[in-house]
Homo-oligomer: A and B are copies of this chain.
Amino acid sequence: MKGKLFYIGLLVSFLAAGIAHYAHLDTTWQFVIACVAIVFVAGFLGRATESVAHYAGDRMGGFLNATFGNAAELIIAFFLVKDGLFEVVKASLTGAIIGNLLLVLGLSLFAGGLKYKEQSFNVKLASHNSSLMILGVVALFIPALFARGLTTDETSSMSMIVAIILIVAYLLWLYFSMVTHKSVLSDEAIEHGEAAWSKGTSIVFLILATAMVAFTSEWLVGTIEEVKDKFGLSDLFVGAFLIAIIGNAAEHSAAVMMAMKNKMGAAVEIAIGSSLQIALFVAPVLILLSFFISGSPMNIVFTTYEIAAIGVAVFITKSITQDGSTNWYEGLLLMFVYIILGVVFFLV
């Protein structure tokens, strides 16, 4: 969706969501409208981030894009944390990771593969990405396994320490991939057009977009408990499928578009890079934040179901991407795994 149409959608959906909230419309409607609005405001935030990144220069811009690429998820999760909906937060992080690895990447491979018989990308990048993803899985799996034998206080300490290690690992990864080994990992760059706006406007829009995401997130989060009860949905399903999909809609379309232009390297970078950010940056930041904004801190202990889903997603993504070449069937495989997970998450 380009140009005017997008901005009309943005304004209309945002206003409608606001009206629905303050007029105390039926909760289901509030929820639905807020979902639509989130897709638009998250898309707006993405454009503004990119535009600011454009003016910030190559290196700083890369850093901005990498770190604020999941700003929308972070903001939604912030309000979930504030309301103490820890299980939904963790489910939405899980959903964002498996959604990016299985649905976004799967759709990209499939759509690209229908057009091109075989698509390829830099193997080095794939190999590093999968090692990093394994660190993410380890960092979620180990605490969950050992938490049984720990007190609440020990679990909190463990969560804090692991969170700090992950953030350090993520920052060093940015340093590694953008400074010391940039040339080794570079692939077709993600396409950045001309900046849409002047420097000043870009910054103003970035602030505006962040505010809009924040408002819409708060309105959305406020309806979740009721919607869950009304339709008998589990935390897991709401977080891992509903919230994760709307929060990532912008990345979804960007990655698929790249794949259809035969820029598979960029598509993989968006999909896997976004998962990495969530596992290594968004999740640990939320854990540290929760210690400040909430009485009872959120811990890093994910459920067995969540870890199994993430582990399975990482394992099959690693298997499919490690040869640096993809086709339509591999895209389908990823989506089949996503559907299987969706079915069981819905049933549980």
Q: Chain B residue with minimal CB distance to A161?
A: B343
Q: Are B138 and A316 neighbours in the complex by a CB distance under 8 Å?
A: yes
Q: Does A142 contact B (CB under 8 A)?
A: yes
Q: Is A308 an interface residue (CB 8 A)?
A: yes
Asked if A336 is at the interface of the complex by the 8 Å CB criterion, the answer is: yes
Counting every copy of the chain, the complex holds: 3
A348 touches B169 (CB 8 A): no
Q: How far is the CA of A316 from the CA of B220 in the complex (A)?
A: 39
Q: Is A344 an interface residue (CB 8 A)?
A: yes
The reply to whether A333 and B135 form a contact with Cβ atoms under 8 Å apart is yes
Cβ-neighbour of A165 out of B162, B323, B336 (below 8 A)? B336
Please name all residues of chain B whose beta carbon is closer than 8 Å to the beta carbon of A143 when the two chains form the complex: 344
Q: Quick check: B138 and A312 within 8 Å, CB to CB? A: yes
* Nearest Cβ on chain B to A168's Cβ, whole angstroms: 8
Whether A158 lies near B336 (C-beta < 8 A) is no
Counting CB contacts under 8 A, is A319 at the interface? yes
Name the contact of A336 in the complex, choosing from B169, B319, B327, B339 (C-beta under 8 A): B169
User: Does A28 sit within 8 A of B, measured CB to CB?
Assistant: no
Cβ contact within 8 Å between B158 and A344:
yes
8 Å CB interface, A314-331 against B: 315-316, 318-320, 322-323, 327-330
A56 within 8 A of B: no
| Chain B neighbourhood of A1, CB < 8 A | none
Given contacts A135-B337, A138-B316, A341-B142, contact A347 B158 (CB under 8 A): yes
A58 at the interface (CB under 8 A from B): no
CB-nearest residue of chain B relative to A329? B176
A143 nearest CB across to chain B (Å): 7
| A166 (CB) vs chain B CBs: closest residue | B336
Q: Are A135 and B176 in contact (CB under 8 A)?
A: no
For residues 289 through 348 of chain A, which have their beta carbon under 8 Å from a beta carbon of chain B?
A: 304-305, 308-309, 312, 315-316, 318-320, 322-323, 327-330, 332-333, 336-337, 339-341, 343-344, 347-348
CB of A181 closer than 8 Å to a CB of B: yes
- Nearest CB on B from A290, distance (A): 19
A184 at the interface (CB under 8 A from B): yes
Cα separation A343 to B143 with both chains bound (whole Å): 10
A317 to chain B, nearest CB (A): 10
Determine, out of A81-89, A146-154, A206-214, the stretch whose residues face the partner at the interface. A146-154
Mark contacts of A123-146 with chain B using CB atoms, 8 A cut-off: 1 yes-contact digit, 0 otherwise.
Answer: 110011011101100110111011
